[in-house]
């Protein structure tokens, strides 16, 4: 099945080309990653926003300091799963939360 490339970004790790896309949801960010050479392989993961909510007025909040998914996080995801495993896969690899292996305290914030 083909992957929608709309809104995807590129990353190269150890000479291998990948595409990835991050999509915001209620409470977390979904990430889909696939190698350019094998679109049948997908890595699916998520990461929380890790933001501070500030009260704007009664019942209304503003999100500040939200985590931004960057190539640094995606590279760590690729290395965690393993390049060869991703390239050779023919299906979906579900990783779960990225926080398990990535220290979000060093992540870029908006």
> What pLDDT, on the 0 to 100 scale, is given for residue 3?
63
Give me the mean pLDDT over the 7-19 stretch. 95
pTM of the model: 0.82
Query: Which tokens belong to 57?
Result: 């007025």
Residue 1 resides in a domain: no
> What's the structural domain count of the chain?
1
pLDDT score of 1 more than 60: no
| Widest Cα–Cα separation across the chain | 52
Inter-residue contact 33 to 19 (CB < 8 Å): yes
CA distances from 9 to 12, 13, 37, 60, 74 (A): 10, 13, 15, 33, 10
pLDDT score of 67 more than 90: no
What is the residue-averaged pLDDT of the chain?
87
> What pLDDT, on the 0 to 100 scale, is given for residue 71?
94
Residue 93 resides in a domain: yes
| H helix or E strand, kind and range, residue 71 | helix 71-81
Residue 108 resides in a domain: no
Residue 107 resides in a domain: no
* Residues spanned by the domain of 65: 9-102
> What pLDDT, on the 0 to 100 scale, is given for residue 85?
97
């Amino acid at each position: 099945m083909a992957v929608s490339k709309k809104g995807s970004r590129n990353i190269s790790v150890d000479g291998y080309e990948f595409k990835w896309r991050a999509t915001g949801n209620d409470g977390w960010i979904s990430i889909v990653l696939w190698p350019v050479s094998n679109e049948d392989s997908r890595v699916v993961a998520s990461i929380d926003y890790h933001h501070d909510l500030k009260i704007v007025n009664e019942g209304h909040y503003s999100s500040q300091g939200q985590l931004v998914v960057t190539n640094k996080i995606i590279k760590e995801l690729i290395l965690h799963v393993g390049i060869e495993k991703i390239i050779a896969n023919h299906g979906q690899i579900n990783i779960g939360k990225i926080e398990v292996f990535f220290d979000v305290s060093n992540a870029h914030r908006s």
